[in-house]
A and B are shown apart, each in its own frame.
Chain A
Amino acid sequence: MTERQWQYNFGFLDENTKRMLRRGLLKAVAIPGYQVPFGSREMPLPYGWGTGGIQLTASIIGKSDVLKVIDQGADDTTNAVNIRRFFARVTGVATTTRTADATLIQTRHRIPETALCEGQIMVFQVPEPEPLRTLEASEVETRKLHAHQEYGLMHVKLYEDIARFGHVATSYDYPVLVNGRYLASPSPIPKFDNPKLDRSPALMLFGAGREKRLYAIPPYTAVESLAFEDHPFAVQRWPHVCALCGSGDSYLDEIITDDAGHRLFVCSDSDYCQAQRTLQEGMA
Chain B
Amino acid sequence: MTRPILSTRGLCKDYGNGQGCFDIDFELYPGEVLGIVGESGSGKSTLLATLAGKLAADRGQVRFLDRDGMAHELTCLPEAERRRLARSEWGYVTQHARDGLRMNVSAGANISERLMALGERHYGRLRERAGDWLDKVEIGADRLDDKPSAFSGGMQQRLQIARNLVTQPRLVFMDEPTGGLDVSVQARFLDLTRRLVHDTGIAVIMVTHDLGVARLLAQRTLVMQRGRVVETGLTDQILDDPQHPYSQLLVSSILQA
Cross-chain pairs A/B with CB under 8 angstroms, 25 sampled: A135-B102, A144-B79, A150-B117, A152-B114, A152-B117, A153-B116, A153-B117, A156-B109, A156-B116, A157-B105, A159-B108, A159-B112, A159-B126, A160-B109, A163-B144, A163-B145, A164-B106, A227-B121, A228-B122, A228-B123, A229-B121, A229-B122, A230-B122, A230-B124, A231-B123
List residues of chain A with CB under 8 Å of any chain B CB. 135, 144, 147-148, 150, 152-153, 155-157, 159-160, 162-164, 227-231
Tell me whether B70 is interfacial, beta carbon within 8 Å: no
Give the shortest distance, in Å, between A224 (CB) and chain B (any CB). Answer: 12
The 9 lowest CB-CB distance pairs between A and B, nearest first, are A152-B117, A152-B116, A228-B123, A155-B116, A229-B122, A159-B109, A160-B105, A160-B109, A156-B109
List residues of chain B with CB under 8 Å of any chain A CB. 79-80, 83, 87, 102, 105-106, 108-109, 112-119, 121-124, 126-127, 144-145
Task: State whether B105 touches A148 (Cβ < 8 A).
Answer: no
Q: Which of B83, B102, B116, B119 has the most CB of A within 10 A?
A: B116
User: With A135-B102, A156-B116 in contact, do A164 and B145 touch (Cβ < 8 Å)?
Assistant: yes
Inside 8 A of B116's CB, which chain A residues have their CB?
152-153, 155-156, 159
Inside 8 A of B124's CB, which chain A residues have their CB?
230
Task: State whether A156 touches B105 (Cβ < 8 A).
Answer: yes
Give the shortest distance, in Å, between B118 (CB) and chain A (any CB). Answer: 7
Task: State whether A162 touches B117 (Cβ < 8 A).
Answer: no
Inside 8 A of B126's CB, which chain A residues have their CB?
159
Name 7 extra pairs, CB < 8 A, besides A150-B117, A155-B121.
A152-B113, A152-B119, A153-B113, A155-B116, A162-B123, A227-B121, A228-B122
Give Cα A35–Cα B117 distance, bound, in whole angstroms.
Answer: 22
